Structure 1
Amino acid sequence: MTYPGSIGYFLLPNYSRNTKIIVGVNGKKYEFPVVFKKAYFAIPYGAKGTVAVSLKEGEKNLFLKLIPVKEKKYRISRIWVKERKLTKKLIERIKKESTLLRKTLTSVTSKKFRENRFYSPLKKLTITTPFGAKRIINGKKRSIHWGIDLKAPLGTPVFASLSGRVVLARDFYYTGNTIVIDHGLGIYTLYAHLSKILVKEGQIVQAGQKIGKVGSTGRSTGPHLHFGIYVNGIKVDPILAFNLRSL
């Protein structure tokens, strides 16, 4: 069954560099470059009815499939946090961080992972806020929750979900101490609100390697791990990704 936030892939043993996957959703088109014989794509949040997934080589259409997407109801998440006055300096910082994240998560590199499944970033999964929840912060409607929040005590070890290269390991205004790992082929994982970062940018990590500790940095109501998965910048539901039979 396909839901918004699902991952899919093509097996393309004879692909060429100008091949791409296009996902058509609600009148919009999302492109996923092909750089390996196994090429991944994601079904964006908000997809309804039927999604058109096509494969193109340059302007040539190679394949088209219409995929029915099952509608999913998302809960409302209400949280209250201490608000900081957004000065001009803070607004500039937030804009720069948002641009950096967007640029990072849409870069497609060569394959870096060897595993055939995503590993859990915590030994125990206790979800407090699911993917796709509609956020209401301090009584005001805000953005969608693009990941899952996992409850854990302060200092709990956080592990890399797949092998890859650490591309970001720094403090962000909203997500606090944050790690982003590039696994190649457009796949990234993000670990936020950490109390401690144990890796450096540019470092190669293995699946299951300890990379940080659970914290409550950034905009947070208490100790937890915010964990996200992205495919070429498109947000993926981590629970659907964990349930994949083969990556």
Structure 2
Amino acid sequence: LSAQRDEANKLVKEIDDNAAEYQATLKELEAEERRIEQQVKQMQKKLEEQMAAEGKKYNTNPGGYIWPVDSRYITSTVGGRNSPGGVGSTNHKGTDIGRVGYTSPVYAAKAGTVIIAQRSSSYGNYVVISHGVGNTTLYAHMSSIKVSVGTYVKQGQTIGITGSTGHSTGPHLHFEVVENNVRINPLSHGAAPKKGYLTGYTLSGTSVGK
């Protein structure tokens, strides 16, 4: 009984240690996501000021996105969820698209100027494209990046290759859309504001789709 009690206490300690490590990881992820959000805003403002100085108009229209990959299989929508494998955010800020492997092209969902093309511990290799005032898209966990900051990309142009870099449990594309400086949901499922821009998809574990 004494040996069993010691073993049980050891197991409880391991569970407590794992829980503490899990919470610390989530806090680190959330802190980095906030830093990235601030960086996106700074780079967006810098581009807007640059275009204004050159006398160029920088307007935007909502919507008009195409799918950023060829897959239509959604593994996670915008909003609350369980942390995948203990390495993903529980307040998901983007749309995860699976069944892409490690060699699929990632397309610019809309024409615009690349304002970030780098690597982070959470997003791995990621790219942010500015499409106008307050309008950006973000593409994360790529195995490689095919564009550089300052590049103007056309809609549908390849900007990277899918992968599983950063905090990821498998190959997928994490895709975020911001309009009027507000992060929106491009699907009709998940958290509001649901815009329904991307259609014809299947949700993981269900046969639901539009």
Give the TM-score normalised by the residue count of structure 2.
0.63
Contact 2:87–2:169 (CA under 8 A) maintained in structure 1 = no
- Distance in 2 between residues matched to 1:199 and 1:141, nearest whole Å: 26
Identity among equivalent pairs (%): 31
1:111: how far off? 3.2
- Structure 1 stretches of at least 4 aligned residues deviating more than 6 Å after TM superposition: 112-116
Contact 1:131–1:145 (CA under 8 A) maintained in structure 2 = yes
Structure 2: runs of 5+ lacking an equivalent: 1-20, 49-56, 188-194, 200-210
What does residue 198 of structure 1 align with?
146
Q: What letter is aligned with 1:180?
A: V
Q: What letter is aligned with 1:209?
A: Q
Larger radius of gyration: 2
1:97: how far off? 4.0
Q: What letter is aligned with 1:221?
A: T
SS for the counterpart of 1:208 is coil
Is 1:187 matched up with 2:135?
A: yes
- Distance in 1 between residues matched to 2:146 and 2:112, nearest whole Å: 15
Indicate the RMSD between aligned Cα atoms, in angstroms.
3.4
What does residue 99 of structure 1 align with?
38
What does residue 77 of structure 1 align with?
none
Give the TM-score normalised by the residue count of structure 1.
0.55
SS for the counterpart of 2:147 is coil
Q: How does 1:107-146 map to 2 (within 5 A)?
A: 109=48, 110-111=57-58, 117-136=64-83, 142-146=89-93
Contact 1:105–1:232 (CA under 8 A) maintained in structure 2 = no
Q: How does 1:227-242 map to 2 (within 5 A)?
A: 227-239=175-187, 240-242=195-197
Whose strand proportion is higher, 1 or 2?
Answer: 1
After superposition, the Cα gap between the structure-2 partners of 1:135 and 1:207, relative to the gap in structure 1 and judged at 3 Å, is: same
Post-superposition Cα deviations, 1:127-163, rounded to whole Å, max 9, x if no partner, equal 0001113343566995410111001111110000000
Post-superposition Cα deviations, 1:164-221, rounded to whole Å, max 9, x if no partner, equal 0000000012101000000002110000000010000000000000110101000000
Contact 1:118–1:241 (CA under 8 A) maintained in structure 2 = no
Whose helix proportion is higher, 1 or 2?
Answer: 2
Post-superposition Cα deviations, 1:78-129, rounded to whole Å, max 9, x if no partner, equal xxxx97x87xxx89x9375453135346778343668971111012211000
Contact 1:112–1:165 (CA under 8 A) maintained in structure 2 = no
- Distance in 1 between residues matched to 2:198 and 2:74, nearest whole Å: 15
Q: What letter is aligned with 2:91?
A: I
Q: What letter is aligned with 1:242?
A: Y
